[in-house]
Structure formats: structure tokens, C-alpha cells
Amino acid sequence: MVMRNINKIILFIILDLVCLLHTSAFAKDINFEATVDSNKVELGQPFELNLTFNGTQYMPALEAPIIEGFQARYVGPSTRMSIINGQVSSSITHVYTLLPARKGTFQIGPFRFEHKGDVYNSNPITVEVVDVVALPQTPPAQAGGQPEAMDLNDQIFLIMQIGKNKIYLNEAVPVIIKLFVNKLGVRDIQYPQFSHDGFSAGEFGQPRQYREIVGGIGYDIIEFNTTVFGLKPGEFRLGPATMQCNLLVQRQNRGQAPPSPDNFFNSDFFNSFLGGYQAYPLNLKSTDIPVTVLSLPEENKPASFSGAMGIFDFEASVNLLEVKVGDPVTLKAIVRGQGNFNTVKFPATDLGDNFKAYEPQVKQENVTKIFEEVMIPLNDGIKEIPAVNFSFFNTGTGQYQTITRGPFPIKVIRSEKTEELQVVENKRSDTTLLKEEKLGRDIIYIKATSGKLTKKGEYLYKNKIFLGCQVLPLFLYLFIVVMHARNRRFKTDVRFARQLLAPRKARAGIRLAAGYFQKENVRDFYDALFDTMQEYLGDKFHLPSKGITISVIDEQLRSRGLPETILAKIEELFSECDMVRYAASQLTKEHMQNSLIKLEEVIDHLQRNKV
Amino acid sequence: MNRKILIRLAAIGLLFFTILSNAHSSMIQQYFDLGNSAYKEGKYEEAIENYEKVSDSGLESGNIYYNLGNSYFKKGKSGKAVFNYEKAFFFMPSDNDLMSNYEYVLASLNLDLQYFGTWPVRFANVLFEGATIDLLTVLLSAIYFLAVALLICSLFFPGLKRGINVFLLFLSVVFALSAVSLNSKITYLNKGAIVISKVADARFEPTESGTTYFKLTEGGKVEILEKNENWYKIKRPDNKMGWVQKTDVGSLSE
């Protein structure tokens, strides 16, 4: 609701602005015209005189003018504003009622009006006042029926006009069809149609709408324009033009007297929106026009004439002054003027064997036709592009005319790439024109060889060796992972490293001791035995090797659950070593062997059993 | 002395085996050539006999099944033709001639290309459409070996671990897709079948008196779910199941 109000406000503001702009219209833009609703009136029958100022909505009324033979009375103003194709037009009409006082032919106006120092002059109008009996009685239209067209002939009619009645073959002439409407409500206006046997007619353009005074009566005119040209020589009739539209007629109230055409149509058009009007289809018809189509004279017909009809100008140009052999150059030809552009062909050129020319590209605008022809110079001996001749039949003078442009000097340079030019044709356009080839279909022929033969059902995924091999990388990976972890631990974990190295070092110690045993070197034998045992136990239990004594062993190893027999052997070994090393006891070879065996047993036991 | 005798015996045995195997190969080649000659002369029945002899010898190849397919088609047995083309696809899935003939025969039977499986399986199959079962097996194995090698590398070159992990992720995706495709192909090989009869009824029960559930189209694909004497329980690509006589369908695994 709020939005609707805002929209209304905006609309009013726009309208006010438009009105304000129009109040400031200059006097020279204001047109003053006088019209009556009928040129022939009955004595004593009032009719309307309208004094209209076009171009403004703010113009005061003239005082009721004194007109000889009439009594005038001011009725009031009526304003009008319309926006057509963005063009705003406005007017104010001061309406007067004139009552004929006597018979005769009278001239009303011209009226002169002065306002703010500007003087406005209207046109004069001639009105004939006749006796009441002199006018034919208008038969009342039947209620609900279609109003007869003959009653409306002076209020709505169709006119067809042609530029000239004698034309040449293919000469384009304008045809104008105008719909005149005077104070009638008309809608659903169709495009006119007209018979044009022997002619070719173009389509109608956008209709033009304007107002015109004819014989003192103002008409709203809708103008339709097209062109026609004769297809064969002879006498023809163009038209009649016909048009369909709907006439808005005020509804007949029940019990009311049958309306006359006057009170039928002289009502406000906008009342129709309130439902007071009814649409009646109306067929309008103009008169036909005789047209003579003349054939073209054979005399002085130029060789380059290709049928162009009209009044034209012609220009031609070349886009390059210097070009290599094989490079394209464009010749542009522009034909401007009035006439039948359908008959305008590309101007004649004689290129000989010096150029390879392609089909020109054509572009047409309103009064211009542009041709662009691409040509390729084939040799470097070319000095110019030959002159271009455009011939046409001048429909204004009735004579043939030829315009020559060129020759166009051009410098053709030998191509660096190739000694001899080869123009490659584009074959695609030809191939696309070919009919689609219909190909046969069948199965493709058998294979000549048996191919690689394999045992039935023998697939690699079933092959046990292959499957077995798939386990190898896994094992390899696991092995490497374990080894890698062990190595890392060996490098970072001293206890682990010592434990790991203990047996190896012990074996070396035993070998050394065994050597001394063979040599019967008792002291060195027991030294080696002691060192081996001390180092092994130190490494094994991660204790300082040099600090390993009987008491330490007793304390450390007993708590680890070492069997008593092993503990006893260790103690015995330490005792024997101490005896030899410090008491200089001489032990027999048998003792030495027993000591070595004991050491081996201790190490073997400690290695085998997790302690 | 004894050793020399053994070596001689082994050599003789090897020679004998070579001669026998060559004779077998030349015999198979002979059957194949006879089949081709018969086909050229338009004797399709004879061509089929010879190609089947090669097949019955325990050997197979894509070309043999292709030629068999052609011969059956020319003989007017389009279902059998499709069956043999399907078998040929296991050996030469990217052969253009085979694909052309297969599509042509299907078109003559008013059939479109038919697929089993869900969309991931179809996607994987499209990716590895041109790969045989053996090639996919090798590919999977190669990816597996490469992955292990990369894992070992990552142990010794910790700096490359990030890059290796990304590459391993990519390999995992390829591995998964190729594994899906391989599994699909193996399943189709083991369970796939083609309707070879002109008219085949799928029944509710594995008996001739069983009510017909639906009709099978010649050349159509089915999946064998179960075997019961002379009957197969089959499933169509639209998941409809029924019992058909063994003579109506050709199992791709047989």
C-alpha cells in the first residue's frame, strides 16, 4: 500500500516536471489553430469552435469572439498531453459553442491573440449554414448494431497515396496509407493491406502519428509508409487499401431513445474505461490508384548496367596501397541514394587473371549499400586495380547513368616466402554442399592370425608363483622396518647396545683366553677370563664393567632371579681369578680348562635365559 | 657314467616335449587356418567347427573368439556371436574391430550396451576399459611393489616423507580404482553369461513347469547366481532374478 502511494507520488512529480518544462515553451514553438466539428451545419443547430494552442497547456482563453452570423459562447478549456516515442506534446483547446443565426457561407477567423507580447494567428475556417430541411436525415443506428460506415465517412476514413503514377520497371516508389480520425474512439488498429498485382511491396515501417487540419477540421492521422516497385510493364491498379479497427461506441441505455451518430461519438473517450463504451469492428477501404509501369529503354543502355533503379551516388576505395603477392586487398564500393536497392548489384570490374577475387560481402543500411570484395593479387607485375563502373537507370531523369571510380594504383611486392603463389581454395564450402554419403554397415572381417594363445582360464591372478611373489615385498618391508628400528635403538639406547654387543665381545674374550690356555700362560689366561667375565656382566646388566666384583654380582644378580648354580659358578670364577692374579697361585691346566668351561656355561646360560 | 645317461635322457625328453608341443601348435594353427578358409568361402558352419576345435584344445585367444563371433553372426546366431565377442573382450578389450562388430550385432538385436554394478564400479570400469585382467593384475602388483619401495625409502630419507606420502595417496586411489575394476572383471568372467537362445524364459522355479517370470532377450547379459543341475539362477542388469535352462545361456567362465 505504501509502495503504491510512493509510486503515485513519483508519477505526479514526473508529470509536474513535464508540465513545468512545457510552461517554459517559447512562443515560436506554439502553434495556434482553429477548428470546427463540422463545415456544414443546420440553421439553429449549435456546433463547436475549437481554438487550440499546440505546444503549451497554459494559455488563457480568448474572449467570446464576435463572428458575423453566429452567436458565440465560451464553454471551457480542455488540455491534452501525450508522450509518443519519448516525445512529449501538449495542447490546450478553448471550446466555444457557435449558434448559426442565418443561412449562408461564412468565414470564421482568422483569429488573432496576443499574450505576453507574443502574437498568435490562427487559420480561417469556412462554414456553410443551411436550412434544416437541406441536410439529409441521418437514419438512427440500430441499438446494439454496427454503425453504418457511410455515416462516419467524414469522421474516419482511409486514404492511399503513391509517389507517382507513371513508374519504370523495378523503380521503387513510396506508398502512403493514412487513417484520418476525427473525434472518435478507435482501437485495435490493424496494419493496412492493399492489392498489388504486378507490383512487389515491402513491409510497412513503424506508423507515424500526427494531427492535421483538413478543411478546418482537425484530424488525428496515423500514417503507414512502404515502397512498391513494378514487376512487369503495363497498366495496373494499386489498391484499394483496407484496414480493420474497432470503433468505440457509447452503450445504449435501456429505454433511452436510439442515439444519433452525433451523441454516439462526441463523448469523452476515457469514459470507455468506465464501461460506457462498446467496441464495434470497422472495415475501412480507400480508393485504388491507377499506375502505369514503363519498360526500360534499350537506347544507351550501358554494358555494365545490371538493373539498378533509382537516383544513386557511388564511391569506391581500396584499403591498401602496397601489398605482397598472395596477401588480400579489399575493394570497398558504397552505393548511396534513393531507389530500389534490391536491384543494386556489385559494380562491374574486370580483374582479368591478375587477381583471385572472392564473393563480395554485402551490407545494407537505410539508404546505403556497401560491398566489400576481397581480392588477392597473383603476381608482382600488377600496378593498379582496374576502374569500377556502376550503372543505373536514373528514375529522376529517365536516363541511364554510369559512375566510374578508379583505377586504383597499388604496389604489389613479391612474396618472400614463395617464388610462385599458390592460392589455396577453401574446399569446405564445396564439401558441405555435397550430399551426406550413405555408408554401408556390416561386421568387420575376421582376423587372419590366431593371436597370442594362452591356456584356457589361465590368468595371472590365479598363478601361485605370482601370488607368492606378492608376499616378498611385505616380508622385505617388515624385515627392513625391524632392522631399521634395531639400528636406531642401537644408536640411541646404550643399554641395548651393550647387551647386544656383550656376547660378541665375550666370544672374543673366550677366544683370547683359549689362546692363553693353549700356551699354558696361566696369569694371562685368568686375566683374560676375568676381563671377559667382568665386561660381559657389565654389558649384560648395564653396570660399570670395572666395578663388577663378587659382592656386586651377589647383590645385582641374585635380585634378578639368577639360579644359584650359575651364581656359584660366577663366584668360583671370580675367586679363581683373584687367586691367580693376587695370590700368585699356580693352577693346573685342568683347572684352567674347567674355568674356561664354566665361563662358557655362564655366558651360555645368561644368553639363553632372559634375566 | 650314470650322470651322463641321465643328461642324455633329459635331453631326449626335452626334445620329445618340444616336438610334441610344436606339433600341437601347428595342429591348432591348422584348425584356425581351416576355419578362416571356410569363412572366406562362406561355409560358416565349417568355420565354427574348426574354431571350436582350437578352443576345445584348451587354448584360447581374443582372435579365435572374435572369428567365432563373426561366424556365428553370419550363421544367424546373434546370441552366440555376442557371447564370443564378450569372451574376446577379456583378451583384447581395446580392439576397435571387436567393438564395432559387437555394437553392430547388439544394434541388430535392438540392444544397448549393458552394464552391471553400481556407479563407482562403472566409473572404475570406464577408466580401465582397455585393460585386460592380466594387465590390471600386473598394474596392481606394480603399484604394490612401488608403494613398498616408497615406504622403505621414507624410512631412510625422512626428508622425502611428505612428498612420498602424497604420492602414496595418489597411488592408493589408483590402486583402489584398478582393484575395483579388476574385481568387477573377474566377477563378470566367473559369473557373467549371455543369452544365446532366440527365446528364453526365466522362471520362478528350476523346472519346465515353473511359471515364466520374464523373457530374456537374445544377446542380453545376465549374472549367474546359482547352479542347479540343468538350470542357472540368473540376475538381469535390472536386478530381476529367475531360473533359466543352461542351454539358453552361455557362461563366460566355461
Q: Are B39 and A481 an interchain contact pair (Cβ–Cβ within 8 Å)?
A: no
φ, ψ for residue B60, nearest 5 deg: -150, 155
- Which residues of chain B have a CB within 8 Å of the CB of A477? 148, 151-152
The answer to whether residue A278 scores a pLDDT higher than 90 is: no
Report the residue of chain B nearest A461, measured CA to CA: B137
Q: Which of A33, A32, A35, A92 has the alpha carbon at shortest distance from A215?
A: A35
A interface mutation test: which of B87, B152, B164 has the most A CBs within 10 A? B152
Q: Give the pLDDT confidence score for residue B21 in this predicted structure.
A: 64
A434-490 confidence digits (pLDDT tens): 556 767 788 899 999 988 888 888 899 999 999 999 999 999 999 999 999 989 888
Domains A25-130 and A312-413 share a fold: yes
Q: Does domain A149-292 have CATH number 2.60.40?
A: yes
CATH classification (class only), A312-413: mainly beta
Which CATH code, of 3.90.320, 1.20.120, 1.10.3470, 1.10.260, is assigned to A492-608? 1.20.120
Looking at the partner chain, which of A444, A459, A484 has a beta carbon nearest the beta carbon of B100? A444
What class does CATH assign to A25-130? mainly beta
Q: Residue type at B97?
A: D
State chain A's mean pLDDT as an integer: 78
Fold of domain B196-251:
SH3 type barrels. (2.30.30)
Q: How far is B170 from chain A (nearest CA, A)?
A: 20
CB contact under 8 A, A446 and B151: no
Residue extents of the structural domains in chain A: 25-130, 149-292, 312-413, 492-608
**Mean pLDDT, all residues of chain B:** 90
Contacts of B66 in chain A (CB under 8 A): 446-447
Please identify which residue in the block is written with the cell numbers 434544416: A132
Give the start-to-end residue ranges of the domains of chain B: 2-108, 119-190, 196-251
Q: Which residues of B touch A480 (CB under 8 A)?
A: 152, 155
B60 neighbourhood in chain A, CB within 8 Å: 453-456
Nearest chain A alpha carbon to B31: A450
DSSP-derived pairing of the beta strands A70-84 and A166-168: unpaired
Rounded Cα distance, A310 and A343, in Å: 9
Give the per-residue pLDDT at A568: 86
- Chain A residue nearest residue B28, CA to CA: A450
Are the CB atoms for A278 and A249 separated by under 8 Å?
yes
Is the model's pTM score more than 0.90?
no
Please report residues of A whose CB lies closer than 8 A to that of B32: 449-450
- Cβ-nearest to A477 among B28, B148, B186: B148
| Segment A314-370, tens digit of pLDDT | 888 888 888 888 788 888 888 888 888 888 888 877 777 778 777 778 888 778 888
When CB atoms are compared, the residue of B59, B66, B104 closest to A453 is B59
pLDDT at A2: 43
Residue A144 has pLDDT above 60, yes or no: no
Best A453, A474, A478, A486 member to test B by mutation, with max B CBs in 10 Å, is A453
pLDDT of residue A431: 45
| Nearest by Cα to B82 from B74, B73, B90 | B73
Q: How many CB atoms lie within 10 A of CB A37?
A: 19
Amino acid (1-letter code) at residue A148: E
More confident residue, A584 or B49: B49
Neighboring chain A residues of B63 at a CB cutoff of 8 Å: 447, 449-451
How many angstroms separate the CA of residue A498 from the nearest CA in chain B?
24
User: ipTM score here?
Assistant: 0.85
B144 chain-A contacts, CB cut-off 8 A: 470, 473
Share of chain A above pLDDT 90, in %: 8
Contact at CB, A456 and B60, closer than 8 angstroms: yes
Is the bond leading into A240 cis (omega within 30 degrees of zero)? yes
| Cell 655362564 -> residue | A602
**Is residue A371 within 8 Å of residue A408, measured between CB atoms?**
no
CB contact under 8 A, B101 and A484: no
Helix (H, G, I), strand (E, B) or coil at B202: strand
What architecture is domain B2-108? Alpha Horseshoe (1.25)
**A600 exposure class (CB count in 10 Å sphere: 0-12, 13-18, 19+):** middle
Is the CA virtual torsion A302, A306, A312, A314 positive or negative?
Answer: negative
Q: Do domains B2-108 and B196-251 have the same CATH topology?
A: no
Question: Number of residue pairs across A and B with CB atoms under 8 Å?
Answer: 91
What is the per-residue pLDDT across B231-253, written as a single tens digit (0 to 9) for each?
999 999 888 899 999 999 999 98
* CB-CB under 8 Å, B97 with A480: no
Given a cut of 90, is residue B39 above it in pLDDT?
Answer: yes
Residues from B in contact with A at Cβ < 8 Å: 25, 28-29, 32, 36, 39, 54-55, 58-64, 66-67, 70-71, 73-74, 91-92, 97, 100-101, 104-105, 133-134, 137-138, 141, 144-145, 148-149, 151-152, 155-156, 182, 186, 253
CA pseudo-torsion sign A436, A440, A442, A447:
negative
Rounded to a whole number of angstroms, the distance from the CA of A348 to the nearest CA of chain B is 56
**pLDDT tens-digit map of B111-162:** 887 777 788 888 888 888 889 999 999 999 999 999 999 999 999 998 999 9
Cα separation, A456 vs B58, in Å, equals 5
Taking CA–CA distances from B98, the nearest residue in chain A reads: A444
Within 8 A of B93 by CB-CB distance, chain A residues are none
**Chain A residue with minimum CA distance to B152:** A477
pLDDT grade for B23, boundaries at 50, 70 and 90: low
Strand A322-324 and strand A411-413: the pairing is parallel
pLDDT computed for residue A210 by the predictor: 81
The yes-or-no verdict on residue A140 having pLDDT over 80 is no
| CA gap B200, B217 in Å, rounded | 7
Query: What span, in angstroms and rounded, lies between the C-alpha atoms of A36 and A46?
Result: 11
Contact B186 A461 (CB under 8 A): yes
How far off is chain B from A490, nearest CA to CA, in Å? 16
Q: How far is A331 from A317, CA to CA, in rounded Å?
A: 6
Of A449, A454, A459, Cβ closest to residue B59: A454
Q: How far off is chain A from B227, nearest CA to CA, in Å?
A: 20
Nearest to residue A172, comparing CAs of A281, A307, A78, A301? A307
Question: What are A's interface residues with B at a Cβ cutoff of 8 A?
Answer: 441-457, 459-461, 466, 470, 473-474, 476-477, 480-481, 484
Residue A396: is its pLDDT beyond 60? yes
